[in-house]
Amino acid sequence: MESTAEVTAGDIARLAGVGRAAVSNWRKRYADFPQPVGGTTASPTFRLVDVEKWLTTHDRMPEQSGAERLWTALQHGSADPERDIPVLARAIMRPHPPAVEDGQLKAALAVVQEIGVEASLAALVERFVDLRGRRGSVATSAQVAELMAELVAPGGGSVLDPACRTGSLLAAAATLGAARLAGQDGDPDNVAIAAARLFGHADAVDVRPGTLQDDAFAESAVDIVISDPPSGGNWGYDELAGDLRWEYSLPARSEGELAWVQHALARLRPGGRAVLLLPPGVAERPVGRRVRRELLRRGALRAVITLPSGATAPFNTRLHLWMLRRPDRDDRTRDVLLVDTTGEWDEAAATIKAAVRAHEAARPLPDSVSGRAVVVEAVKLSSEDVDLTPARHIPGGRAALSADLILQRREELADLLGRLPSVIPQATAGDGQSPAAEITVGELVKNGLVTIFTDPEVRVRTGDVLVPAIGPRPRVDVAGPTDDGRALGPQCFLLRMKVGYVDPWCFAGFMSSDVNLRRMTSMGSIPRVDVRKAHMPRLPLTRQVEYGERFRRLREFADLLRLAAATGEEVTQMVAEGLVAGTLRGEL
């Protein structure tokens, strides 16, 4: 029986490795292009088998990866392929997977046997997360997930995510050596995808359907809880008002986040640690002050950390990390670490890790985090409002800086500024024409000149081009010697050039242009990247190398300029605070 699967113009573009504009042009230019069979005038759908035949006839069907072939097979064999992604994942993970001849998933199961279980599950997870993301589902960014896992150091321990979504935080914990992983989610499809993501990544994995109201791990006590719980909505106040989890006072009806905080503490063994990603309002809303005060009094709250804007969705909000510890008899600590970070992610993450390491070891905070972190006695935070917003408790942080440190940073700034003139890029007027005719990255992949990898476990090589899978303006990088051998990690594309045919720095430079970033990045609530839509000039290798060297020097200049600007802002603030505090002399 012939497949009745239908695809949109966007699906055709992804299948062929081109942009949607190319599909629109094909429809206008080729009389034999398949006619719509459904959808709407604005968004028509086409029979998949007809599209595949047309692409093959016109030599526009690229060689598909195993992941792409699996998705195509699922489209052919299912009336609703998106719905059947979790169905197929569950089937693959059974101790005895169904035979190839079984049911409507026959073609997909045949591809699974060919490419292997792990590769198949990774492809299904990536496809499911991508489809859900286009519909507005918010996922924790890879960089924040990695940081959260590092802060609680799960190596060898048991880890629970009580609102695991598709399992990205548990996967980050597994990467750092967690031995036992447990998760729950109210969406059965998320449960299947989380289990698929974690398949084979720890000694024991247990992902179940569960919610705050219907807790799947009510009898558990774990070493670590890591979670990005849902915000707002009905958390079950009426049903759970008498629940024993509310040791720190019953959360208000509108304070679901504080219910999740107490749920996390209730599932920890004594001395166990938790880190939760929360909206900034949880630290200051009046209705939550009673719970916050009790967390402080009992010594359960260890740190509140403000992340820089853009660190994770929603990208316009500076979310907080709350670090917690279930009190035990030996712990009498009541001091709370407050950290407020801004600017570039790498610097912010380094500041957070340095401050947390010092605080957990009961050492003074290092000078490198002065003005961005402070340790405050819990009793001083238990004012009438119990406002835990870090920025409101670090206004005078710079005043504590020594004159020696300020002068040292000033010298560092002078050195950076002194290096800038020698790396200012040369510029010569051109004729205003593009360097050459263009070809899409999708076509380069089809021709075997570029290979795209998305498997988080693939190993990076020097010269690979790395592109984040989520915008809004992805930074295109070329891997250097320090990246060699590391795992790619989640939510990232790796593009490997065919040696002797494509220069990586030339490729990365043209891909970083505004016009290509617009082509590659979607306009949805979560800006997603499709690297196949970028256009590259058709240049001989010698010209590519010339362009590549110019782009490499340009990146060197941009990085140095960015560092100088950030250091300049820091020195300006340090000097101003030093003058106010008397650390520096005021006369000219």
Domain 143-329 has what CATH class? alpha beta
Coil, strand or helix: which one is 106? helix
Whether 143-329 shares its CATH topology with 438-538 is answered: no
Q: Give every CB contact of residue 213 below 8 A, 6+ residues apart in sequence.
A: 236, 239, 240
Q: How far apart are CA 282 and CA 451, in angstroms?
A: 45
Domain extent listing, the chain: 6-134, 143-329, 438-538
Name the region of 423 (left: φ>0; alpha: ψ -120 to 50; beta: rest). Answer: alpha
467 φ, ψ (degrees, to nearest 5): -135, 125
Q: Which one, of 513, 532, 525, lies nearest residue 474 by Cα?
A: 513
Counting Cβ atoms within 10 Å, is residue 278 exposed (0-12), middle (13-18) or buried (19+)? buried
Q: How far apart are CA 330 and CA 347, in angstroms?
A: 34
Q: What is the pTM assigned to this prediction?
A: 0.68
In this structure, the number of other CB atoms found within 10 A of the CB of residue 98 comes to 13
CATH for 438-538, options being 3.30.300.30, 3.30.420.40, 3.40.630.190, 3.90.220.20: 3.90.220.20
Q: How far apart are CA 542 and CA 82, in angstroms?
A: 45
Q: Is the peptide bond before 314 cis (omega within 30 degrees of 0)?
A: yes
Q: How many residues comprise the chain?
A: 588
pLDDT tens per residue across all 588 residues of the chain = 456 678 888 888 877 877 788 898 999 999 999 999 998 988 899 988 899 899 989 988 877 777 788 888 888 777 788 889 999 999 999 877 665 555 567 778 888 888 889 889 999 998 898 888 777 777 898 899 999 999 998 888 999 999 999 999 999 999 999 999 999 999 999 999 999 999 987 779 999 999 999 999 999 999 999 999 998 778 999 999 999 999 999 999 999 999 999 999 999 999 999 999 999 999 999 999 999 999 999 999 999 999 998 898 888 889 999 999 999 877 666 799 999 998 889 999 999 999 999 999 999 999 889 889 999 999 999 888 899 999 999 865 444 567 888 888 889 999 999 998 988 888 888 766 777 788 999 999 988 999 999 887 788 999 999 998 887 788 899 999 888 888 887 788 999 999 999 999 999 999 999 999 988 887 655 677 889 999 999 999 999 999 999 999 998 998 899 889 988 988 898 888 888 878 888 765
Burial 208-240 (b: 16+ CB within 10 A, else e): bebbbeebbbeebebbbbbbbbbbeeebbeeeb
8 Å CB contact between 435 and 537: yes
> Which DSSP state fits 176?
T
